């Protein structure tokens, strides 16, 4: 046999390498095969949220969470008009299209009763998911429970301020009567030389805004909706006083006649445009939006504590509405653990700080009182002050019905269709019926 | 010592060229054919898949439109509509009606699709606007031109739901927040009381972007392709973000798309558009994808094929060089050896092992060189012997005329003195010399050789008159047989010298017989004496000395043997038989044939 030279071996080896190389290279020619990394897509949780400044702030606070955890958060935004209907429909239909839902605190009782939300206590108590020291539940301005179970943790706290043009009104009014007097002075229909068209503005939108506006008036005048025992006070004399005051604003034309179509943004824009001299009761969230706008009046628009009613002893009784927008976990969520991670982040101190910088108003006292943040968000100090006199709406399972009853009465008052006494008495009657009906079935927790 | 002939290529060059041609050519051809074929197939398939994707998506969208249409059907059957208001109703009643309208629309009719509905409007014949929006709205806020456009279409085809782009929204939209939700297309239907055939109003559903996005947003059109939805006027209703949309050529092409049917077309050879028109809405759905992207996998394939081909070519060159060198090396080596041999160096031998066929060549080359050397040695030896024989013949030559004149004088003196014996002897001697002098010929007829021998015998018989007799027998058929001259005389002389004269039998007469007999194709010649013969040992030594050219004994006999072998080959080898006291027989054969002599 002839001796085989190294070059022959090399040739065979080269051919083999070439052949294997061909297979390897052609393996890449299939082009768009997903790699293992691509195939394993990150877990995505979906957040159902209402369009508004909350969603704007949330959008900015999400990326750090995604980077830290690798969990993707997809926001499903819905318009404000159909939001409540959609949330209720989807939750009670058992939809698993979203993991997290942005709910107003006033709906927690209804949703808790319906077991459409997951209680958060198991997550908060489990050290595997929550470090209690870091989480610091006591720091929350409010948590929202039903039947001793926490169902929602607030990302936002909302309360009412008095907004006024400091260039026109150097000292903010302290009582509602003073508000009305100033409103007449800065309404063109009363004073042709008024620099503003209307003296006062507020949102009269149904179904959510108008009752809340009225609640602040109602409580300031000493009235109420229900007490803890579901006793109805909507038709009490002090409640009727509040109704009369509201009717007087329309009747005396110090508020726009189409106030029923004014929403949150309409009031804010009217202030920024110089159409109104005051807005009250008006949401605290508008202030940051105004400060960051390019309005020519942004520096002269100030906020003050909500006015009240002077008592016989000269003290002023103030009361401000407060509610929270909170995050809850859909009972049908496919990813409850990941959903909780996001809740603990966004309602936590770090997430809340980011959220606050993005325009939100976190419901943590430590954040609201943070001097650095107060420098950026000067209204936080007032928010904390306001929270001291702020009240929640009653957390009743028949909340939507209560709102409908209030709306109907308030619409009658604002359209001057029915005298406030009649309208509120009828509303009180209806509310009492609803309370009796639901009290017979279950005792709600306040 | 290279021998190169111009115009001829070396075997290595040819092998390398052949290997390269065989390896690289197929690689290139296969690469190009595969690419072009793949390109065509790929483009065709991608076009079809693209169109199928668009058609499927369009079917989904149409199903969505149909569902939205069906959601309005219960309103048609509902009599009377509870939310209707009468002219002159107070603001509160209108607000209440709007609230009831919203309650019905959101909680009853559109509850399942509420996240896709921005607002629902109902405009009565008295131009009272009912809206699902939280803000209280009146007909004064309606954009007249858009409302008129919509109602005109509804009047033209009052039984169908009509779809419009957001351009025709009846109420202005103001973006209060930064949001991903915004108004999109509108659906409008004329609501008629079927029992009285009276217009109840126009139902206008303002949908938000989710309505289209739920169906269209997640449709992936390649990597950078776009799915587009155009209205009846080819205005964009929905478009996935893509830089291609800003391209004027694409926009022009989209503007030309057919309002019915489906198809694909290529724009400027750069983009492919698959489009289908919806019979329900009249909208055109189109997918625009850059051809380059579609063919990217194929381009990748080509790149890889070229890479493979390039590597393959490099490997082929190396393998070709290696194979050609390995195969041609022994041949080249052999040719170099042959070249050396041709220059006279016959000692070269091929010692390397190689492939079987080459090894056979190498072995045969070595054998051939050895055989050539042997032949050359034989020729050399033969030449030397020939020279020696010639020398001996020359030494034996006597001047013929002087010899003949003397013999002739002796003959006539013997005649004068009546010495018959002498004259006879001189006559035989003359014949003998004459034949001897003619021995320069290569061949003579056998009868002439016999005549020469007979003269010799006659001379010898005079000498050994009382001791020996002789007998010559020549077959008539062998007379003309060609024979090397002067071959028999040494044999006969040996018979006299060794058989008769040196030890004559005491009681018998020596007898020498020479016979030639034709046997088929040969003539067998035999010289026999009845002398003292040889012992077995002596015979073996004689036979051995015939083969050993170096021995000095038996030169005459060996000379005869060699001349026979040279003239007639191995068949003519001498056969010697001898028996001590009985005589010796020397025989040989020659080829028969008389014409050539």
- pLDDT at residue A380 in the model: 93
- Length in residues, chain B: 597
CA geometry: angle A55, A61, A62, nearest 5 deg: 90
Q: What is the DSSP code (8-state) at residue B491?
A: H
- Give Cα separations from B146 to B51, B136, B158, B161, B282 (angstroms): 34, 20, 17, 16, 19
- The answer to whether A89 contacts B354, with C-beta atoms less than 8 Å apart, is no
How many helices (H) does chain B have, and how many strands (E)? 14, 17
Q: Which range is least confidently modeled, A331-345, B378-392, B446-460, B472-486?
A: B378-392
| Domain end (from B331, B358, B389) | B389
- The answer to whether A15 contacts B315, with C-beta atoms less than 8 Å apart, is yes
- Give Cα separations from B36 to B32, B270, B298, B305 (angstroms): 6, 17, 9, 12
B162-164 and B183-193 as β-strands: parallel, antiparallel, unpaired? antiparallel
| Domain end (from B328, B356, B389) | B389
Chain A positions touching B354 (Cβ under 8 A) are 2
A206 vs chain B: nearest CA distance in angstroms? 5
Asked if pLDDT for residue B505 goes beyond 70, the answer is no
Output the six-digit token pair for B32.
């190009």
Angstrom distance (rounded) from CA B413 to CA B203? 177
Confidence of residue B98 (pLDDT cuts 50, 70, 90): confident
- pLDDT at residue A67 in the model: 92
Report the C-alpha dihedral over residues A12, A16, A22, A28, rounded to 10 degrees: -150
B482-483 and B468-474 as β-strands: parallel, antiparallel, unpaired? unpaired
From B92, B137, B352, residue closest to A415, measured CB to CB: B92
Residue A225, CA atoms < 13 Å, CB-side half-sphere: 26
Asked if pLDDT for residue B437 goes beyond 50, the answer is yes
Q: Are B134 and B99 in contact (CB under 8 A)?
A: no
Chain B positions touching A417 (Cβ under 8 A) are 90-93
- The answer to whether A2 contacts B178, with C-beta atoms less than 8 Å apart, is no
Residue B308 touches partner A, C-beta closer than 8 Å: yes
Dihedral sign (CA A80, A84, A85, A86): positive
Confidence of residue A309 (pLDDT cuts 50, 70, 90): very high
Residues B130 and B200 grouped into a single domain: yes
- pLDDT at residue B144 in the model: 94
Angstrom distance (rounded) from CA A281 to CA A216? 7
Residue A51 touches partner B, C-beta closer than 8 Å: yes
Decide: helix, strand or coil at residue B427. helix
Residues B303 and B366 grouped into a single domain: no
Asked if pLDDT for residue A25 goes beyond 80, the answer is no
Residues B198 and B87 grouped into a single domain: yes
Interface of A with B in 21-40 (CB under 8 A): 21-22, 25-26, 28-32
Residues B19 and B139 grouped into a single domain: no
Q: Which of A423-432, B172-181, B375-384, B493-502 has the largest mean confidence? A: A423-432
Residues of the domain holding B298? 11-50+294-339
Domains defined along chain A, listed by start: 41-157+323-391 (3.40.190.10), 158-321+395-441 (3.40.190.10)
Residue B156 touches partner A, C-beta closer than 8 Å: no
Kindly state the percentage of chain A with pLDDT values over 70. Answer: 93
Residues B155 and B118 grouped into a single domain: yes
Residues B381 and B478 grouped into a single domain: no
Q: What is the DSSP string of B333-389?
A: HHHHHHHHHHTT-TT--------HHHHHHHHHHHHHHHHHHHHHHHHHHHHHHHHHH
Q: Which residues contact B328 (CB under 8 A, 6 or more apart)?
A: B10, B11, B12, B15
Residue B133 lies in a domain: yes
- Reported for B568-575, long-range contacts at CB under 8 A and 24+ positions apart, including other chains, are B571/B522, B574/B546
Q: Which residues contact A272 (CB under 8 A, 6 or more apart)?
A: A290, A293, A295, A297, A298, A301
Name the nearest CA neighbour of B283 among B237, B242, B244, B252: B237
Q: What is the DSSP code (8-state) at residue B442?
A: S
Output the six-digit token pair for B321.
């060089």
Angstrom distance (rounded) from CA A249 to CA A213? 13
By CA distance, what is A20's nearest residue in B?
Answer: B308
Residue B472 lies in a domain: yes
Residue B227 lies in a domain: no
Residues B480 and B532 grouped into a single domain: yes
Q: Which range is least confidently modeled, A20-29, A56-65, B159-168, B581-590?
A: A20-29
- pLDDT at residue B500 in the model: 73
- pLDDT at residue A38 in the model: 45
Residue B334 lies in a domain: yes
- Which ipTM was obtained for this model? 0.70
pLDDT in tens, A343-369: 999 999 889 999 998 888 998 999 999
Residue B362 lies in a domain: yes
Which residue would you say has higher pLDDT here, A175 or B11? A175
Q: Which residues contact A78 (CB under 8 A, 6 or more apart)?
A: A48, A49, A50, A51, A86, A87, B115, B181
Chain A positions touching B301 (Cβ under 8 A) are 26, 29, 31
Chain B positions touching A15 (Cβ under 8 A) are 315, 319
- CATH number of the domain to which B544 belongs: 3.30.565.10
Query: Dmax over Cα atoms in chain A, in whole Å?
Result: 126
Segment (H or E) for B584: strand B583-591
- The answer to whether B95 contacts A415, with C-beta atoms less than 8 Å apart, is yes
Residue with tokens 């569902």: B67
Asked if pLDDT for residue A36 goes beyond 50, the answer is no
Interface of A with B in 215-254 (CB under 8 A): none
B350 vs chain A: nearest CA distance in angstroms? 13
Residues B335 and B367 grouped into a single domain: no
- pLDDT at residue B395 in the model: 56
Q: Which range is least confidently modeled, A100-109, B370-379, B499-508, B577-586?
A: B499-508
CA geometry: angle B462, B468, B473, nearest 5 deg: 95
Residue A273 touches partner B, C-beta closer than 8 Å: no
B270 vs chain A: nearest CA distance in angstroms? 20
- The answer to whether B312 contacts A18, with C-beta atoms less than 8 Å apart, is yes
pLDDT in tens, A45-82: 999 998 888 898 899 999 999 999 999 999 988 877 77
A78 vs chain B: nearest CA distance in angstroms? 6
- The answer to whether B353 contacts A89, with C-beta atoms less than 8 Å apart, is no
Residue B115 touches partner A, C-beta closer than 8 Å: yes
Residues B32 and B156 grouped into a single domain: no
From B174, B179, B318, residue closest to A14, measured CB to CB: B318
A386 vs chain B: nearest CA distance in angstroms? 25
Angstrom distance (rounded) from CA A283 to CA A266? 12
Q: What is the DSSP string of B265-330?
A: EEETTTEEEEEEE-TTT--EEEEEEEHHHHTHHHHHHHHHHHHHHHHHHHHHHHHHHHHHHHHHHH
- pLDDT at residue A122 in the model: 93
Residues B129 and B40 grouped into a single domain: no
- The answer to whether A261 contacts B93, with C-beta atoms less than 8 Å apart, is no
Residue B30 lies in a domain: yes
- pLDDT at residue A276 in the model: 96
Q: Are B474 and B438 in contact (CB under 8 A)?
A: no
The domain total for chain B is: 4
Residue B326 touches partner A, C-beta closer than 8 Å: yes
Chain A positions touching B304 (Cβ under 8 A) are 25-26, 28-29
Interface of A with B in 169-188 (CB under 8 A): none
Residue B312 touches partner A, C-beta closer than 8 Å: yes
Asked if pLDDT for residue B26 goes beyond 90, the answer is no
- pLDDT at residue B170 in the model: 93
Dihedral sign (CA B108, B113, B119, B125): negative
C-alpha radius of gyration, chain A, whole number? 28
Angstrom distance (rounded) from CA A405 to CA A152? 26
pLDDT in tens, B222-280: 778 888 899 888 888 888 776 667 788 888 888 888 888 888 888 888 888 899 999 88
Residues B83 and B46 grouped into a single domain: no
Confidence of residue B116 (pLDDT cuts 50, 70, 90): confident
Q: Which residues pair with A322 in a beta bridge?
A: A159
Preceding omega of A441 cis (within 30 degrees of 0): no
Interface of A with B in 397-426 (CB under 8 A): 407-408, 411-412, 415, 417-418
Angstrom distance (rounded) from CA A428 to CA A409? 9
Angstrom distance (rounded) from CA A303 to CA B445? 159
Asked if pLDDT for residue A221 goes beyond 90, the answer is yes
Asked if pLDDT for residue B490 goes beyond 70, the answer is yes
Q: Can you give chain A as a three-state secondary structure string?
A: CCCCCHHHHHHHHHHHHHHHHHHHHHHHHCCCCCCHHHHCCCCEEEEEEECCHHHHHHHHHHHHHHHHHCCEEEEEEECHHHHHHHHHHHHHCCCCCCCEEEEEHHHHHHHHHCCCEECCHHHHHCCCCCCHHHHCHHHECCCEEECCEEEEEEEEEEEEEEEEECCCCCCCCCEHHHHHHHHHHCCCCCCCCCCCCEEEECCCCCCCHHHHHHHHHHHHCCCCCECCCCCECCCCHHHHHHHHHHHHHHHCCCCCCCHHHCCHHHHHHHHHHCCEEEEEEEECHHHHHHHCCCCCCCCCEEEECCCEEECCCCCEEECEEEEEEEEEEECCCCCHHHHHHHHHHHCCHHHHHHHHHCCCCCCEHHHHCCHHHHHHCCHHHHHHHHHCCEECCCCCCCHHHHHHHHHHHHHHHHCCCCCHHHHHHHHHHHHHHHHHHHHHHCCCCC
pLDDT in tens, A124-148: 989 888 888 888 888 888 888 888 8
From A25, A207, A415, residue closest to B307, measured CB to CB: A25
Residue B451 lies in a domain: no
pLDDT in tens, B336-375: 888 888 887 878 777 766 677 777 888 888 888 888 888 9
Residues B149 and B130 grouped into a single domain: yes
- pLDDT at residue A300 in the model: 96
pLDDT in tens, B517-559: 999 899 999 999 888 888 889 888 888 888 776 666 777 888 8
pLDDT in tens, B443-453: 889 998 898 88
Output the six-digit token pair for A154.
């607030």
Q: Are B213 and B237 in contact (CB under 8 A)?
A: no
Which residue would you say has higher pLDDT here, B35 or B591? B591
Burial annotation B562-571 (CB, 10 A radius, 16+ → b, else e): bbbeebbeee
- The answer to whether B96 contacts A408, with C-beta atoms less than 8 Å apart, is yes
Decide: helix, strand or coil at residue B405. helix
Residue B45 lies in a domain: yes
Segment (H or E) for B58: helix B11-77
Q: Which of B92, B174, B300, B324 to mutate to test the interface with A (most CBs of A within 10 A)?
A: B92
From A7, A21, A29, residue closest to B322, measured CB to CB: A7
Residue B291 touches partner A, C-beta closer than 8 Å: no
- pLDDT at residue B398 in the model: 46
- pLDDT at residue B393 in the model: 61
Q: Which range is least confidently modeled, A85-94, B369-378, B462-471?
A: B462-471
């Amino acid at each position: 046999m002839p001796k085989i030279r190294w070059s022959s071996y090399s040739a065979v080896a080269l051919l083999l390498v070439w052949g294997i190389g061909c297979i390897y290279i052609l393996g890449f020619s299939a082009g768009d095969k997903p790699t293992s990394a691509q195939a394993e897509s990150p877990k995505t949780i979906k957040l159902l949220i209402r369009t508004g400044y909350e969603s704007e702030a949330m959008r900015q606070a999400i990326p750090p969470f995604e980077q830290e955890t690798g969990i993707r958060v997809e926001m499903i935004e819905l318009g404000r008009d159909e939001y409540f209907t959609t949330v209720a429909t989807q939750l009670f239909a058992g939809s698993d299209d979203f993991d997290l839902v942005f709910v107003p605190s006033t709906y927690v009782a209804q949703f808790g009763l319906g077991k459409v939300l997951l209680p958060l206590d198991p997550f908060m108590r489990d050290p595997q998911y929550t470090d209690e020291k870091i989480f610091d539940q006591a720091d929350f301005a409010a948590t929202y429970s039903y039947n001793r179970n926490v169902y929602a943790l607030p990302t936002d706290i909302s309360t009412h301020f008095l907004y006024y043009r400091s260039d026109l009104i150097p000292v903010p009014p302290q009582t509602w009567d003073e508000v009305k007097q100033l409103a007449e002075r800065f309404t063109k229909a009363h004073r042709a030389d008024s620099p503003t068209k209307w003296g006062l503005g507020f949102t009269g939108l149904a179904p959510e805004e108008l009752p809340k506006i009225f609640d602040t008036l109602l409580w300031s005048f000493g009235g109420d909706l229900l007490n803890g025992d579901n006793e109805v006070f909507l038709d009490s004399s002090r409640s009727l006083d509040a109704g009369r005051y509201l009717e007087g604003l329309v009747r005396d034309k110090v508020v726009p006649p189409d106030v029923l179509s004014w929403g949150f943004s309409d009031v804010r824009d009217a202030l920024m445009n110089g159409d109104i001299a005051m807005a009250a009761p008006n949401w605290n969230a508008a202030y940051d939006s105004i400060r960051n706008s390019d309005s020519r009046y942004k520096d002269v628009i100030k906020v003050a504590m909500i006015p009240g009613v002077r008592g016989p002893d000269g003290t002023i009784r103030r009361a401000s509405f407060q509610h929270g927008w909170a995050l809850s976990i859909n009972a049908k969520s496919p990813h409850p653990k990941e959903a909780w991670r996001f809740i603990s982040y966004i309602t936590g101190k770090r997430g809340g700080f980011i959220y606050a910088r993005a325009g939100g108003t976190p419901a943590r006292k430590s954040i609201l009182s943070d001097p650095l943040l107060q420098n950026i968000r000067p209204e936080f100090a007032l928010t904390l002050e306001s929270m001291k006199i702020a009240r929640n709406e009653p957390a009743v399972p028949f909340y939507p019905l209560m709102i409908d009853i209030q709306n109907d009465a308030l619409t009658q008052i604002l359209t001057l269709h029915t005298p406030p006494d009649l309208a509120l008495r009828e509303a009180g009657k209806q509310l009492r019926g609803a309370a009796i009906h639901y009290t017979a079935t279950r005792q709600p927790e306040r | 010592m290279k021998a190169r002939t111009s115009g001829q290529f070396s075997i290595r060059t040819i092998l390398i060229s052949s290997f390269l041609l065989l390896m690289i050519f197929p690689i290139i051809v296969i690469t190009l054919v595969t690419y072009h074929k793949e390109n065509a197939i790929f483009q065709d398939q991608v076009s079809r898949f693209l169109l199928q994707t668009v058609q499927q998506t369009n079917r989904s969208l149409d199903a969505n439109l149909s569902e939205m249409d069906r959601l309005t059907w219960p309103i048609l059957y509902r009599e009377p509509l509870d939310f209707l208001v009468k002219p002159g109703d107070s603001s509160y009643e209108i607000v209440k009606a709007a609230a009831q309208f919203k309650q019905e629309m959101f909680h009853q009719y559109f509850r399942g699709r509420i996240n896709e509905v921005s607002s629902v409007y109902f405009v009565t014949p008295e131009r009272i606007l009912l809206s699902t929006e939280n803000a209280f709205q009146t007909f004064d806020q309606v954009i007249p031109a858009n409302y008129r456009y919509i109602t005109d279409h509804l009047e033209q085809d009052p039984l169908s739901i009509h779809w419009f782009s957001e351009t025709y929204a009846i109420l202005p939209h103001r973006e209060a927040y930064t949001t991903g939700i915004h108004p999109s297309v509108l659906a409008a239907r004329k609501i008629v009381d079927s029992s009285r055939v009276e217009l109840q109003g126009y139902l206008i559903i303002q949908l938000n972007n989710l309505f289209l996005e739920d169906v269209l947003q997640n449709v992936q059109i390649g990597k950078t392709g776009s799915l587009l939805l155009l209205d009846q006027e080819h205005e964009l209703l929905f478009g996935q973000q893509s830089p291609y949309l800003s391209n004027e050529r694409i926009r022009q092409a989209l503007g030309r798309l057919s309002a019915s049917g489906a198809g694909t077309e290529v724009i400027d050879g750069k983009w492919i558009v698959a489009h289908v028109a919806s019979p329900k809405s009249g909208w055109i759905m189109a997918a625009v994808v850059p051809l380059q992207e579609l063919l990217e996998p194929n381009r990748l394939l080509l790149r890889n094929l070229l890479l493979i081909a390039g590597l393959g070519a490099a490997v082929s060159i190396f393998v070709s060089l290696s194979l050609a060198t390995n195969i041609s090396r022994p041949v080249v080596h052999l040719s170099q050896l042959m070249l050396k041999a041709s220059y006279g160096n016959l000692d070269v031998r091929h010692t390397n092992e190689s492939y079987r066929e080459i090894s056979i060549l190498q072995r045969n080359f070595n054998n051939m060189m050895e055989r050539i050397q042997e032949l050359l040695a034989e020729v050399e030896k033969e030449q030397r012997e020939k020279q020696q024989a010639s020398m001996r013949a020359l030494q034996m030559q006597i001047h013929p005329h002087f010899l003949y004149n003397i013999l002739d004088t002796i003959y006539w003196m013997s005649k004068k003195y009546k010495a018959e014996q002498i004259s006879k002897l001189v006559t035989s001697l003359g014949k003998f010399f004459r034949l001897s002098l003619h021995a320069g010929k290569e061949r003579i007829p056998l009868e002439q050789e016999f005549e020469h021998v007979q003269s010799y015998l006659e001379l010898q018989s005079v000498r050994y008159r009382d001791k020996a007799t002789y007998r010559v027998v020549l077959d008539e058929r062998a007379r003309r047989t060609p024979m090397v001259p002067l071959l028999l005389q040494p044999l006969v002389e040996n018979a006299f010298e060794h058989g008769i004269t040196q030890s004559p039998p005491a009681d018998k007469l020596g007898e020498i017989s020479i016979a030639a007999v034709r046997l088929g194709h040969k003539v067998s010649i035999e010289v026999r004496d009845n002398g003292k013969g040889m012992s077995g040992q002596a015979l073996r030594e004689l036979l051995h000395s015939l083969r050993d050219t170096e021995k000095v004994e038996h030169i005459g006999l060996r000379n005869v043997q060699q001349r026979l072998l040279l003239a007639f080959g191995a068949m003519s080898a001498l056969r010697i038989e001898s028996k001590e006291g009985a005589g010796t027989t020397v025989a040989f054969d020659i080829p028969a044939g008389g014409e050539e002599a």
